[in-house]
Amino acid sequence: MLRELNISVNNFFSFDEVLKIKNLNFFPFQMTSSISSNDQNLKASNTNVGNDILNRKLKVIISGGGTGGHIFPAIAIANALKNLVPNIEILFVGAEGRMEMEKVPAAGYKIEGLWISGLQRKLTIDNLSFPFKVISSINKSRNIINKFKPDVVIGVGGYASGPLLYVAANKGIPTLIQEQNSYPGITNKVLAKRVNKICVAYPGMDKYFPKEKIILTGNPVRQDILDIANKREDALKFFGLNNTKKVLLVIGGSLGARTINQSMKAGLDALCKNNIQVIWQTGKSFYNEAKNATNKFEQSGIKVYDFINRMDYAYAATDVVISRAGASSISELSLVGKPSILVPSPNVAEDHQTKNTMALVNNNAAILIKDSEAKDILIRRVIELLKEDAEQSKLRNNIGKIALKDSANVIANEILMLVKK
């Protein structure tokens, strides 16, 4: 019955409120004041880190996840740190049952899981367990930190960042968070007053974070997508596509996007009639339905995947992209310079995906289609775009101009500057 109650959780427990509980006998730690910002220049810098840091044994924890938008930037940061500091040990901390528990080990890193999840927008049984999950996760975070003894701790957003970064900051361990979006998530909002540095991808984030802690760095992206210029032929072979036909890439984010998927399913006939090939990432929940719908079109070049591991090949093979407008997706699209139609998710805080998209639309760098209109006009509009080389060229040139490059290395440099000598 609780799931049917339309009760806002604004008056329920937030993460920060749980941390303020004073009278629980089993509360696992002593409350301490938040650490203050280091008195240092926090502008993004390419200043070389001293050799004493680069040559010593370093231990780093990276915490967060939940979606590819958090996980892949985290892995990119880890890879950049490894390139700078060969003698480094990196441990990830994620949320049990979330996709980071699969994707991080696949990238070659160890990960520990916390029993943590987010608040739902309605009062539910899951929400009633939230304070206990926070306390359990803080307990485990203390144990992880005490055992691993990190030199610095990084949060990339997502449920697991909260407890881990909170414990690290209260122990005086240098901390940094990376915010991918133009509107920050609740975890990073709560942590902002406790951490030393905040790396952001958009200007104007001092509306949400202490100005003196902010560094404009852009979003780290998967390393393999940064060099796709000479991969098109191999990419077309990889997906089994014809090099004489246009290719459309459809990505609804790592977990899929139902409106985009339904629009694609309804538009398969039209796409095939216009000789358009498709690489379609559906997410796990829609994969079987999409696979059944595309069986008769497979010889026409309609390729369906629940998740695409070779995104470098997906981008290299593609002429036009349909995508949600998460910050990491936009960062990747700008770096690979692909003409894009963006369908912002309506189910995100403060409609931040629309805000992300408008930053491109206002610079003639992308096309916006509302989620509510996608089923009616998305397929027609993408067919039009694939036929208009001049419009594709304009979008390609303009989206490339907004890319912030080398973000992972910039963030890695800022992290190393925090390490205590």
Residue pLDDT, tens place only, 36-49 = 333 333 344 444 56
Alpha helices in 178-326 (DSSP H): 186-191, 232-239, 258-266, 268-273, 284-294, 311-317
Domains of the chain (ranges, CATH numbers): 2-219+406-418 (3.40.50.2000), 224-401 (3.40.50.2000)
- Rounded alpha-carbon distances, angstroms, from residue 56 to 53, 59, 80, 81, 418: 6, 10, 16, 13, 14
Predicted model pTM: 0.75
Q: Which two tokens stand for residue 288?
A: 């079987």
pLDDT at 127: 67
What's 347's DSSP letter? S
Give per-residue pLDDT as tens, 211-244.
999 999 999 988 788 889 899 999 999 999 999 9
Whether the per-residue pLDDT at 2 is higher than 60: the answer is no
Rg (CA), the chain: 22
Whether the per-residue pLDDT at 121 is higher than 70: the answer is no
pLDDT at 36: 31
d(CA 406, CA 171): 31
Give per-residue pLDDT as tens, 75-118.
999 999 999 998 999 999 998 888 889 999 999 999 999 988 76
